[in-house]
Structure 1
Amino acid sequence: MSTATLLRPATDADISRLVSLNNAAIPAVPDTPADDMTELLDASSLALVAIDPETPADPLGFVVALDGGEDWSGENYAWFEERGLDHLYVDRIVVGEGARGRGIGRLFYDAVFDAARTAGHDVVTCEVNLNPPNPGSMRFHGRLGFEERGQQLTKGGDVLVAKLAAEVHPTP
C-alpha cells in the first residue's frame, strides 16, 4: 500500500463506505444510516474523504463540516449556533481503524481550517465525548489548538460531550 494519502470531495458513491466507517467508530460518533449520511453530506459545506491513490474508490476516512447559520437540527451544532459564533462546525471526522497513525486526521483538519479561513470564519468548532470517554481525540484536538468552551449532556442525557473551538488564524 502506498503511504501517500490524498483528499477528495465525498460523493454519493461513497455513502456505503462512509456509513461503514462511521458505524465502526461508535460510540465516538452516532450511529448513522445511509439516508442520514446522505442528508448530512447534502447539508455540509465541506465533505472530504481520504484515499490511498492505489484504491481511490475505498475511502480510508472522512470529514463533514457545516457553516454556521445553516438550517441543521443537530443538537451539538445548535449549541454552537445558540452562542452566536462565526464558525465552521466539524460534525464528523472518522479515520478507519487500519488507516490511523498516518496523519489523516491532521490532513482533514488542515483542509477544515483552510475552508474556514477562506469563508472568513473566526473559529472551527466540534465536540468530543467525555462520557463515554475519548481521551485520544481530546489529546489530538488539544494539539490542534482546540479549547473547551463548555459541556453538554446529549442523546437524552446518555452522553457527555466537551464543546471545543479553535481560532482560525490567517495564513502565515
Structure 2
Amino acid sequence: MSIVVRDVREHELDSVLALNNAAGPAILPLDAAKLRQFYDSAEYFRVAERDGNLSGFLVGFGSEAQHDSSNFAWFRERFPSFFYIDRIVVASRRRGGGVGRALYADVQSYAELRCPQLACEVFLDHGADPALLFHGSFGFREVGQNVMPDVGVRASMLMKELCSYAWVRDTYGDALPEVPWTGQSRRVARAEQRPTGT
C-alpha cells in the first residue's frame, strides 16, 4: 500500500497522457506533442506509483521558465519568484487515498529549497469545492482569479508561502548540499547525462 514518488520515465508518457485525458473537466486535455514538451522542458515532472501502478503525476515550472500557460503568465506578472504547479492528476480509483498529498509533499520539498512561494490554480466552473478544500488544507490561499483567454475557464489563483525558503537561501545560497533528497532539476540532471558533442 506504499506510495512511491519518482521522476517520470519516457516510456510512461502514453500512460500519463491517458491519465490526464481521463481526468475530466477539472484538467485541460493534452495531446502527445504538448506532453512531450512538458517532458523536455518541465523542471519537475514526477509520477506517483501505488502498489506498483501509475496512480498520478505532477508537472511544475520555476518562475523563470519559458512556459506558455496563461495562468503561469498571470502569476509572473504579479510575483517575482515562485514555483508553479501546472497540473496534478490522480487516477480516479486512487482519489482520496493519499496520492495527491504525497505528490504535493514532494513538490513542496523540492520548491521550498528554491522559491519563496508555491503557486497553482483551481478551475471554478466545474464543482471546485473538493479541490479548493484540498488546497486550503495544504496552506494555499486565493490571491486572485483569472479567466483563461484561450479556453474561457475561470480559475482561482492560489499561493502558499514556503517558510523554509528564507533559511535555506540564507544558509546555503545557490549551493545546496549534494544529498539525494535535495534533487536537481530534471533539465540540469538530463543535460549532465548527455554525451559531450550532442
Same fold per TM (> 0.5)? Answer: yes
Q: Given the alignment of the two structures, is residue 162 of structure 1 paired with residue 156 of structure 2, yes or no?
A: yes
Aligned residues: 166
Cα shift at 1:48: 0.8
Q: Indicate the residue corresponding to 2:49 in structure 1.
A: 51
- Quick one: which of 12, 15, 39 aligns to 2:13? 15
In structure 2, C-alpha distance between the alignment counterparts of 1:169 and 1:110, rounded to whole Å: 14
For residues 45-88 of structure 1, give each alpha carbon's deviation from its aligned partner in whole angstroms, at most 9, with x where no partner exists. 11110113x53xx4110001101111111111111111133111
Tell me, yes or no, if the aligned pair for 2:113 and 2:164 is still in contact at 8 Å.
no
- Quick one: which of 131, 135, 138 aligns to 2:132? 138
Tell me, yes or no, if the aligned pair for 1:151 and 1:161 is still in contact at 8 Å.
yes
Q: Indicate the residue corresponding to 1:94 in structure 2.
A: 89
Q: CA RMSD in A?
A: 1.6
Tell me, yes or no, if the aligned pair for 2:62 and 2:84 is still in contact at 8 Å.
yes
1:20-99 mapped onto 2 (5 Å cutoff): 20-52=18-50, 54-55=51-52, 58-99=53-94
Larger radius of gyration: 2
1:123-134 mapped onto 2 (5 Å cutoff): 123-134=117-128
**Alignment partner of 2:132: what SS?**
helix
**Alignment partner of 2:124: what SS?**
strand
Q: Given the alignment of the two structures, is residue 117 of structure 1 paired with residue 115 of structure 2, yes or no?
A: no
The AA in structure 2 aligned to 1:166 is K
Tell me, yes or no, if the aligned pair for 1:132 and 1:160 is still in contact at 8 Å.
no
**Alignment partner of 2:13: what SS?**
helix
Cα shift at 1:155: 4.7
Could you list the runs of 5+ residues in structure 2 that have no partner in the other structure? Answer: 168-198
**Alignment partner of 2:39: what SS?**
helix
Could you list the runs of 5+ residues in structure 1 that have no partner in the other structure? Answer: none
Provide the TM-score with structure 2 as the length reference.
Answer: 0.79
For residues 103-124 of structure 1, give each alpha carbon's deviation from its aligned partner in whole angstroms, at most 9, with x where no partner exists. 11111111111111122x1110
**Alignment partner of 1:59: what SS?**
strand
Q: Which stretches of structure 1, 4 residues or longer, exceed 4 Å deviation after superposition?
A: none
Percent of matched pairs sharing the same residue = 30
